[in-house]
């Protein structure tokens, strides 16, 4: 597969200094599709400095003179059997070029990690049906659907009663507490769509690079001295939505059905309300093998945006 850009276009790798131009590009695209930016400068900076992302080989910016026309990146975690692609442009020719670069680099990742093939995922707003059709032409097919869920807070929210026999550990100031949360996350999400377990050091570095997160926002639940559930919150949606955000909510299989997920959610609602937030947001895979969507609906959350993950297998 090849794609050629018009002669007037130029290409170079991205850098953190390009964050503001990237913000403008992504915000313009998102606004044209869903009516709002859904992106911040902080998001752009975090994306361009994600540990493990090498801009020189894994990212591309396309310019028409001084105007940024397109951006693409490909990123893998852990064993790199599954990678994420990000391609943003409103120019079909630029999109074709960037997709070609992404697919070529993905095949290189597969070879370098010793895989015969890998899965490449791209997120698409459901409202952008034209883009979904174009991606289908490149071999991408529907993988799963994510709903953005939200609950609004009108004043104070009562903190929930701690379930019997449960110890609540707030914050993760040391390595032992972080490792406990990491172990719960990897075990609870094992086998779920798009989840790649990351070694502890890689996961910790990613958390610390995320400018909207700090370790005080991580909560772990223990039963009989064992960590069985965790919730990791951050401020990713404070700037644009004035909302707290639940980045990860995980409960070990053996501890499910005891109301721990609902407790963690209601506890976070109370924390966000106490911090003056207008609401709390999270994303849920509607094909999740656990009844996650039902849990979120049962505590008063509602779907406000739908995104689809489109997937393609890429041979080495």
pLDDT digits (tens, 9 = 90+) for 4-33: 898 999 999 999 999 999 999 999 999 999
Same domain as 177, residue 78 = no
Mean per-residue pLDDT, 226-252: 97
Residue 13 lies in a domain: yes
**How does residue 1 score in pLDDT terms, banded at 50, 70 and 90?**
low
Instruction: Please indicate, yes or no, if residue 227 is contained in any of the structural domains.
Output: yes
Q: What is the pLDDT of residues 40-49, one digit of tens each?
A: 999 999 999 9
pLDDT above 90: residue 260:
yes
- DSSP lists the bridge partners of residue 148 as 283, 305
% of residues, the chain, pLDDT over 70: 99
User: Residue 269: what pLDDT?
Assistant: 98
The count of structural domains within the chain is: 2
Q: How far apart are CA 180 and CA 162, in angstroms?
A: 20
Helix axis angle, 200-209 to 175-189, nearest 10°: 100
Residue range(s) defining the domain that contains residue 129: 9-139
Give the CA distances from residue 29 to residues 36, 37, 90, 128, in Å, rounded to whole numbers and listed in that order: 9, 8, 7, 10
pLDDT at position 194 is 86
Instruction: Report the 10 Å Cβ neighbour count for 54.
Output: 11
Are 50 and 207 a contacting pair, CB within 8 Å? Answer: no
Domain assignment present for 314: no
Same domain, 97 and 239: no
Domain boundary residue, one of 97, 117, 139:
139
Among 45-49, 107-111, 152-156, 290-294, the range scoring the smallest mean pLDDT is 290-294
Q: How confident is the model at residue 291 (pLDDT cuts 50, 70, 90)?
A: confident
Instruction: Note whether residue 313 is domain-resident.
Output: no
Q: In this structure, is residue 83 part of a structural domain?
A: yes
Residue 144 lies in a domain: no
**Would strands 59-64 and 9-12 be described as parallel, antiparallel, or unpaired?**
antiparallel
Among candidate residues 139, 171, 201, the one where a domain is terminated:
139
Mean pLDDT, residues 148-161? 97
Q: Do 123 and 65 belong to one domain?
A: yes
Q: Which of 113, 139, 165 is the last residue of a domain?
A: 139
Of 228, 233, 252, which is closest to residue 243 (Cα–Cα)? 233
- Judge whether 17 lies within some domain: yes
Domain match, 285 and 158 both: yes
129, burial (CB in 10 Å: exposed 0-12, middle 13-18, buried 19+): exposed
Please check whether residues 59 and 200 belong to one and the same domain.
Answer: no
Looking at the predicted structure, is the pLDDT value of residue 203 above 70? yes
| pLDDT value of residue 165 | 97
Q: Indicate if 164 and 298 belong to the same structural domain.
A: yes
- Examine the domain organization and report whether 106 and 169 are in the same domain: no
Both ends of the chain: CA-CA distance in Å?
14
Mean of the per-residue pLDDT values for the chain?
96
Mean pLDDT of 136-153: 97
Q: Which residues contact 103 (CB under 8 A, 6 or more apart)?
A: 1, 120, 138, 314
| Sequence-ordered list of residues with C-beta below 8 angstroms from that of 86, at least 6 positions apart, any chain | 47, 71, 72, 73, 74, 75, 122, 123
- Strand 166-170 and strand 243-251: pairing? unpaired
Q: Span 109-116, mean pLDDT?
A: 98
Question: pLDDT value at position 58?
Answer: 98
Are 194 and 94 part of one and the same domain? no
Q: How far is CA 156 from the centre of its chain?
A: 29
pLDDT at position 131 is 98
The CATH number given to whatever domain includes residue 91 is: 3.40.630.30
Q: Same domain for 121 and 158?
A: no
Question: What does the alpha-carbon distance between residue 98 and residue 314 come to, in Å, rounded to a whole number?
Answer: 16
Do 92 and 158 fall within a single domain?
A: no
Local confidence band at 60 (pLDDT 50, 70, 90 cut-offs): very high
Residue 107 structure tokens: 């095949």
Instruction: Give the whole-number percent of the chain exceeding pLDDT 90.
Output: 94
Assess whether pLDDT exceeds 90 at residue 222: yes
């Amino acid at each position: 597969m090849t794609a050629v850009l018009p002669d007037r276009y130029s290409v170079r790798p991205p850098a953190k200094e390009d964050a503001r131009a990237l913000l403008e590009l992504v915000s313009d695209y998102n606004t044209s599709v869903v009516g709002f930016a859904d992106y911040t400068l902080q998001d752009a900076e975090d994306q361009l400095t994600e540990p493990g992302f090498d801009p020189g080989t894994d990212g591309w910016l396309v310019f028409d003179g001084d105007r940024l026309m397109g951006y693409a990146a490909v990123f893998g975690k852990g064993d790199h059997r599954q990678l994420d692609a990000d391609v943003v442009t409103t120019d079909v020719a630029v999109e074709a070029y960037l997709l070609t670069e992404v697919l070529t680099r993905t095949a290189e990742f597969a070879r370098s990690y010793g895989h015969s093939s890998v899965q490449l995922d791209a997120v698409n707003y459901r409202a952008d049906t034209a883009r979904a059709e174009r991606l289908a032409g490149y071999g991408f097919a529907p993988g799963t659907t994510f709903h953005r869920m939200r609950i609004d807070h009108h004043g104070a929210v009562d903190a929930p009663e701690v379930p019997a026999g449960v110890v609540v550990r707030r914050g993760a100031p040391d390595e032992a507490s972080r490792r406990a949360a990491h172990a719960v996350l990897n075990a609870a999400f094992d086998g779920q769509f798009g989840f790649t377990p990351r070694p502890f050091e890689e996961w910790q570095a990613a958390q610390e690079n995320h400018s909207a997160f700090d370790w005080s926002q991580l909560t772990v639940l223990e039963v009989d001295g064992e960590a069985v559930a965790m919730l990791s919150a951050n401020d990713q949606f404070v700037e644009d939505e004035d909302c707290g955000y639940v980045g990860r909510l995980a409960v070990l299989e053996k501890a499910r059905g005891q109301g721990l997920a609902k407790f963690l959610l209601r506890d976070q609602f109370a924390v966000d309300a106490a911090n003056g937030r207008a609401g709390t947001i999270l994303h849920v895979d509607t094909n999740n093998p656990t009844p996650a969507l039902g849990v979120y609906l049962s505590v008063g959350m509602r779907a406000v945006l739908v995104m689809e993950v489109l997937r393609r297998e890429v041979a080495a």
